[in-house]
Amino acid sequence: MTLYGVGLGPGEADLVTVRGKEVLENAAVVYSPGRLSRTVALNHVDESKIGELDFPMTKDEEKLRTAWKEAAAEIAPNARDDDVAFVTLGDPNVYSTFGHLRRTIDAFHPAVELEIVPGVSAVTAFATAMGVEIEAGAGLSLREAAAGHSPTGPDRMILFKVTDAPATHEGLVEAGYDVTYGRRLFMEQGDTIITDDPDEIDERDYYTLAYAEKEGLEVEQATAAFETDDETGTDETTADGEPVTDGGERRASERAEGRAGGDRGGHR
Ligand SMILES: C[S@@+](CC[C@H](N)C(=O)[O-])C[C@H]1O[C@@H](n2cnc3c(N)ncnc32)[C@H](O)[C@@H]1O
Protein backbone atom coordinates (compact mmCIF):
# COMPACT_ATOMS: atom_id res chain seq x y z
CA MET A 1 0.00 0.00 0.00
CA THR A 2 1.03 3.62 -0.33
CA LEU A 3 1.86 6.72 1.68
CA TYR A 4 0.50 9.71 -0.26
CA GLY A 5 1.83 13.22 0.23
CA VAL A 6 -1.22 15.34 -0.57
CA GLY A 7 -1.03 19.05 -1.34
CA LEU A 8 -4.16 20.75 0.02
CA GLY A 9 -3.76 24.08 -1.78
CA PRO A 10 -3.55 27.45 -0.02
CA GLY A 11 -6.32 26.87 2.51
CA GLU A 12 -9.80 26.95 1.00
CA ALA A 13 -11.33 23.48 1.01
CA ASP A 14 -12.53 23.65 -2.60
CA LEU A 15 -9.01 24.31 -3.87
CA VAL A 16 -7.99 20.73 -3.06
CA THR A 17 -7.57 18.86 -6.36
CA VAL A 18 -10.06 16.16 -7.38
CA ARG A 19 -7.26 13.59 -7.07
CA GLY A 20 -6.24 14.89 -3.66
CA LYS A 21 -9.84 14.64 -2.43
CA GLU A 22 -10.16 11.06 -3.72
CA VAL A 23 -6.93 10.03 -2.00
CA LEU A 24 -8.07 11.59 1.29
CA GLU A 25 -11.46 9.89 1.08
CA ASN A 26 -9.85 6.48 0.44
CA ALA A 27 -7.03 6.77 2.98
CA ALA A 28 -7.29 4.75 6.19
CA VAL A 29 -5.43 7.44 8.16
CA VAL A 30 -4.78 11.10 7.32
CA TYR A 31 -1.83 12.69 9.10
CA SER A 32 -1.35 16.46 9.27
CA PRO A 33 1.62 18.50 10.49
CA GLY A 34 -0.42 21.47 11.75
CA ARG A 35 -3.76 22.91 12.83
CA LEU A 36 -4.54 24.71 9.56
CA SER A 37 -3.86 21.75 7.28
CA ARG A 38 -5.89 19.58 9.63
CA THR A 39 -8.85 22.01 9.41
CA VAL A 40 -8.75 21.88 5.60
CA ALA A 41 -8.47 18.08 5.61
CA LEU A 42 -11.49 17.85 7.91
CA ASN A 43 -13.63 19.21 5.07
CA HIS A 44 -12.95 15.96 3.23
CA VAL A 45 -12.51 13.26 5.90
CA ASP A 46 -14.09 12.35 9.19
CA GLU A 47 -12.22 13.35 12.35
CA SER A 48 -11.91 9.67 13.32
CA LYS A 49 -9.48 9.20 10.39
CA ILE A 50 -7.07 11.94 11.51
CA GLY A 51 -3.80 10.50 12.83
CA GLU A 52 -1.91 12.14 15.66
CA LEU A 53 1.72 13.14 15.24
CA ASP A 54 3.79 15.27 17.57
CA PHE A 55 6.02 17.98 16.06
CA PRO A 56 8.06 20.09 18.49
CA MET A 57 8.43 23.81 17.71
CA THR A 58 12.23 23.78 17.59
CA LYS A 59 15.13 24.50 15.24
CA ASP A 60 17.34 21.98 17.11
CA GLU A 61 18.27 19.56 14.33
CA GLU A 62 18.78 16.58 16.64
CA LYS A 63 15.30 17.06 18.16
CA LEU A 64 13.84 17.46 14.66
CA ARG A 65 15.49 14.24 13.45
CA THR A 66 14.12 12.39 16.49
CA ALA A 67 10.61 13.79 15.88
CA TRP A 68 10.66 12.77 12.19
CA LYS A 69 11.95 9.29 13.03
CA GLU A 70 9.09 8.90 15.51
CA ALA A 71 6.57 10.21 12.97
CA ALA A 72 7.88 7.81 10.30
CA ALA A 73 7.78 4.90 12.77
CA GLU A 74 4.12 5.70 13.51
CA ILE A 75 3.13 6.06 9.84
CA ALA A 76 5.13 3.20 8.23
CA PRO A 77 3.24 0.19 9.73
CA ASN A 78 -0.11 1.73 8.70
CA ALA A 79 1.22 2.41 5.19
CA ARG A 80 2.19 -1.27 4.85
CA ASP A 81 -1.38 -2.44 5.48
CA ASP A 82 -3.42 0.43 3.96
CA ASP A 83 -3.22 3.59 1.91
CA VAL A 84 -2.50 6.55 4.20
CA ALA A 85 -2.02 10.26 3.53
CA PHE A 86 0.14 13.05 4.90
CA VAL A 87 -1.27 16.47 4.04
CA THR A 88 0.49 19.80 3.63
CA LEU A 89 -0.80 23.23 2.74
CA GLY A 90 0.11 24.27 -0.81
CA ASP A 91 2.28 21.74 -2.61
CA PRO A 92 4.21 18.96 -0.81
CA ASN A 93 7.42 19.77 -2.70
CA VAL A 94 7.51 23.54 -2.12
CA TYR A 95 9.06 24.68 1.19
CA SER A 96 7.19 21.86 2.84
CA THR A 97 7.46 19.51 5.81
CA PHE A 98 6.75 16.58 3.51
CA GLY A 99 10.39 16.53 2.36
CA HIS A 100 11.47 15.61 5.91
CA LEU A 101 8.99 12.75 6.03
CA ARG A 102 9.96 11.46 2.56
CA ARG A 103 13.69 11.41 3.43
CA THR A 104 13.03 9.70 6.78
CA ILE A 105 10.74 7.07 5.24
CA ASP A 106 13.27 6.43 2.44
CA ALA A 107 16.07 6.00 5.01
CA PHE A 108 14.34 3.87 7.65
CA HIS A 109 11.30 2.29 5.95
CA PRO A 110 12.34 1.79 2.31
CA ALA A 111 9.60 -0.82 1.70
CA VAL A 112 6.90 1.90 1.99
CA GLU A 113 5.61 3.05 -1.41
CA LEU A 114 5.43 6.83 -1.75
CA GLU A 115 3.35 8.94 -4.09
CA ILE A 116 2.78 12.69 -4.25
CA VAL A 117 -0.40 14.50 -5.23
CA PRO A 118 0.55 18.06 -6.16
CA GLY A 119 -1.40 20.98 -4.74
CA VAL A 120 -2.08 24.60 -5.67
CA SER A 121 0.95 26.31 -4.18
CA ALA A 122 1.11 29.84 -2.80
CA VAL A 123 3.62 30.22 -5.67
CA THR A 124 0.74 30.27 -8.14
CA ALA A 125 -2.13 31.36 -5.87
CA PHE A 126 -0.40 34.68 -5.15
CA ALA A 127 -0.51 35.65 -8.84
CA THR A 128 -4.28 35.36 -9.05
CA ALA A 129 -4.83 36.93 -5.62
CA MET A 130 -2.67 39.93 -6.43
CA GLY A 131 -3.58 40.29 -10.10
CA VAL A 132 0.00 39.67 -11.20
CA GLU A 133 0.80 38.12 -14.57
CA ILE A 134 4.14 36.39 -15.02
CA GLU A 135 4.31 36.83 -18.77
CA ALA A 136 5.98 34.54 -21.26
CA GLY A 137 9.69 35.29 -21.21
CA ALA A 138 9.69 36.73 -17.66
CA GLY A 139 11.74 35.29 -14.78
CA LEU A 140 10.45 34.68 -11.27
CA SER A 141 12.58 33.73 -8.27
CA LEU A 142 11.53 32.22 -4.95
CA ARG A 143 13.22 33.44 -1.77
CA GLU A 144 12.64 33.33 1.97
CA ALA A 145 12.43 36.56 3.95
CA ALA A 146 11.99 35.46 7.57
CA ALA A 147 13.00 37.69 10.49
CA GLY A 148 13.03 40.93 8.46
CA HIS A 149 15.42 39.75 5.75
CA SER A 150 15.33 41.52 2.37
CA PRO A 151 16.78 39.30 -0.34
CA THR A 152 17.53 41.23 -3.54
CA GLY A 153 18.86 40.59 -7.05
CA PRO A 154 16.23 39.12 -9.42
CA ASP A 155 13.74 41.36 -11.28
CA ARG A 156 10.77 39.54 -9.78
CA MET A 157 10.65 37.57 -6.54
CA ILE A 158 8.11 35.83 -4.36
CA LEU A 159 9.23 36.06 -0.77
CA PHE A 160 7.97 33.39 1.63
CA LYS A 161 7.82 33.55 5.44
CA VAL A 162 7.54 37.35 5.66
CA THR A 163 7.35 37.59 9.44
CA ASP A 164 8.54 41.22 9.85
CA ALA A 165 7.08 43.13 6.90
CA PRO A 166 8.24 46.66 7.89
CA ALA A 167 11.90 45.54 8.19
CA THR A 168 11.77 43.50 4.97
CA HIS A 169 10.11 46.45 3.19
CA GLU A 170 12.86 48.88 4.12
CA GLY A 171 15.58 46.79 2.48
CA LEU A 172 13.51 46.07 -0.63
CA VAL A 173 12.54 49.70 -1.26
CA GLU A 174 16.15 50.78 -0.75
CA ALA A 175 17.15 48.24 -3.42
CA GLY A 176 14.55 49.68 -5.84
CA TYR A 177 11.64 47.24 -5.60
CA ASP A 178 7.87 47.78 -5.67
CA VAL A 179 6.39 45.37 -3.14
CA THR A 180 2.92 43.94 -2.55
CA TYR A 181 2.11 41.79 0.48
CA GLY A 182 -0.42 38.99 0.66
CA ARG A 183 -1.66 37.48 3.89
CA ARG A 184 -3.83 34.37 4.16
CA LEU A 185 -4.57 34.24 0.42
CA PHE A 186 -7.39 31.86 -0.49
CA MET A 187 -7.53 30.76 3.14
CA GLU A 188 -10.69 30.00 5.08
CA GLN A 189 -9.21 30.86 8.46
CA GLY A 190 -8.34 34.47 9.27
CA ASP A 191 -8.63 37.63 7.19
CA THR A 192 -7.14 37.92 3.72
CA ILE A 193 -5.10 41.10 3.33
CA ILE A 194 -3.43 42.40 0.17
CA THR A 195 -1.55 45.63 0.63
CA ASP A 196 1.52 47.61 -0.35
CA ASP A 197 1.69 49.17 3.13
CA PRO A 198 3.88 47.02 5.43
CA ASP A 199 2.53 48.79 8.52
CA GLU A 200 -0.90 47.33 7.79
CA ILE A 201 0.54 43.87 8.41
CA ASP A 202 3.16 44.66 11.05
CA GLU A 203 1.65 42.03 13.34
CA ARG A 204 3.42 38.73 12.72
CA ASP A 205 1.41 36.15 10.80
CA TYR A 206 3.33 33.23 9.32
CA TYR A 207 0.96 32.98 6.35
CA THR A 208 2.29 36.12 4.71
CA LEU A 209 4.22 36.41 1.47
CA ALA A 210 5.42 39.28 -0.68
CA TYR A 211 5.76 39.89 -4.40
CA ALA A 212 8.67 42.18 -5.20
CA GLU A 213 9.26 43.63 -8.66
CA LYS A 214 12.06 45.96 -9.75
CA GLU A 215 10.68 49.49 -10.22
CA GLY A 216 10.00 50.47 -13.82
CA LEU A 217 10.22 46.95 -15.22
CA GLU A 218 9.06 47.20 -18.83
CA VAL A 219 6.63 44.61 -20.14
CA GLU A 220 6.67 44.13 -23.90
CA GLN A 221 3.72 41.95 -24.89
CA ALA A 222 2.06 42.10 -28.29
CA THR A 223 -1.43 42.27 -26.76
CA ALA A 224 -0.46 45.12 -24.38
CA ALA A 225 -1.40 47.34 -27.34
CA PHE A 226 -5.06 46.44 -26.63
CA GLU A 227 -5.01 47.97 -23.15
CA THR A 228 -7.43 50.86 -22.57
CA ASP A 229 -7.00 53.86 -20.34
CA ASP A 230 -7.90 52.76 -16.77
CA GLU A 231 -9.48 56.11 -15.84
CA THR A 232 -11.92 56.41 -18.71
CA GLY A 233 -12.28 52.82 -19.79
CA THR A 234 -12.22 53.96 -23.42
CA ASP A 235 -10.05 52.96 -26.36
CA GLU A 236 -8.34 56.37 -26.57
CA THR A 237 -5.88 57.02 -29.35
CA THR A 238 -3.18 59.64 -29.80
CA ALA A 239 -3.28 62.27 -32.57
CA ASP A 240 -1.36 59.72 -34.70
CA GLY A 241 -4.06 57.11 -34.15
CA GLU A 242 -1.83 55.02 -31.82
CA PRO A 243 -3.59 53.37 -28.86
CA VAL A 244 -2.95 55.04 -25.48
CA THR A 245 -1.48 52.48 -23.05
CA ASP A 246 0.64 52.53 -19.92
CA GLY A 247 2.98 50.01 -21.55
CA GLY A 248 1.49 47.18 -19.54
CA GLU A 249 3.24 48.25 -16.36
CA ARG A 250 1.24 47.89 -13.12
CA ARG A 251 2.57 49.40 -9.94
CA ALA A 252 2.29 47.74 -6.53
CA SER A 253 -0.26 50.32 -5.33
CA GLU A 254 -2.53 49.50 -8.29
CA ARG A 255 -2.29 45.78 -7.56
CA ALA A 256 -3.19 46.30 -3.91
CA GLU A 257 -6.04 48.70 -4.70
CA GLY A 258 -9.54 47.30 -4.38
CA ARG A 259 -8.38 43.90 -3.22
CA ALA A 260 -7.36 44.55 0.39
CA GLY A 261 -9.76 44.03 3.28
CA GLY A 262 -10.43 40.32 3.17
CA ASP A 263 -12.62 40.41 0.07
CA ARG A 264 -12.22 36.79 -0.92
CA GLY A 265 -14.69 37.22 -3.74
CA GLY A 266 -12.16 39.51 -5.39
CA HIS A 267 -9.85 36.56 -6.03
CA ARG A 268 -12.13 34.58 -8.20
C1 LIG B 1 6.49 26.42 4.78
S2 LIG B 1 5.94 27.41 3.44
C3 LIG B 1 4.74 26.34 2.74
C4 LIG B 1 4.52 26.59 1.27
C5 LIG B 1 3.48 25.63 0.70
N6 LIG B 1 3.98 24.27 0.69
C7 LIG B 1 3.06 26.04 -0.71
O8 LIG B 1 3.33 25.31 -1.67
O9 LIG B 1 2.40 27.08 -0.83
C10 LIG B 1 4.96 28.56 4.31
C11 LIG B 1 5.01 29.94 3.67
O12 LIG B 1 4.26 29.92 2.47
C13 LIG B 1 3.55 31.14 2.33
N14 LIG B 1 2.12 30.80 2.25
C15 LIG B 1 1.61 29.57 2.21
N16 LIG B 1 0.26 29.60 2.07
C17 LIG B 1 -0.07 30.91 2.02
C18 LIG B 1 -1.32 31.61 1.88
N19 LIG B 1 -2.47 30.95 1.74
N20 LIG B 1 -1.30 32.96 1.87
C21 LIG B 1 -0.13 33.63 2.00
N22 LIG B 1 1.08 33.02 2.14
C23 LIG B 1 1.11 31.69 2.14
C24 LIG B 1 3.89 32.02 3.53
O25 LIG B 1 4.94 32.88 3.17
C26 LIG B 1 4.35 30.99 4.54
O27 LIG B 1 5.28 31.57 5.45
Residue ranges and CATH numbers for the domains of the chain are 2-120 (3.40.1010.10), 123-262 (3.30.950.10)
Of residues 133 and 234, the one with the higher pLDDT is: 133
Return d(Cα 241, Cα 130) in angstroms, integer. 33
For 232-264, what is each residue's pLDDT tens digit? Answer: 555 555 566 655 544 444 556 666 654 433 344
Closest CA to 106 of 69, 141, 137: 69
Rounded average pLDDT over 18-22: 98
Return d(Cα 90, Cα 187) in angstroms, integer. 11
pLDDT band for position 267 (cuts 50, 70, 90)? very low
* DSSP letter, residue 9: B
Pocket test for ligand 1, best of 16, 205, 208 (most atoms within 8 A of CB): 208
Return d(Cα 119, Cα 101) in angstroms, integer. 17
Atom in ligand 1 nearest the alpha carbon of residue 209: 25
Q: Determine contact, residues 194/259, Cβ cutoff 8 Å.
A: yes
Question: How much of the chain, in percent, has pLDDT values that exceed 90?
Answer: 76
User: Amino acid identity, residue 65?
Assistant: R
Residue whose Cα lies nearest atom 23 of ligand 1: it is 207
Ranking 64-78, 137-151, 220-234 by mean pLDDT, the lowest is: 220-234
Separation of CA 153 and ligand 1 centre (Å):
22
Q: How many CB atoms lie within 10 A of CB 48?
A: 6
Instruction: Give the pLDDT confidence score for residue 70 in this predicted structure.
Output: 96
Query: How, if at all, do strands 208-214 and 177-183 pair?
Result: antiparallel
Q: Is any ligand 1 atom within 6 A of the Cβ of residue 20? A: no
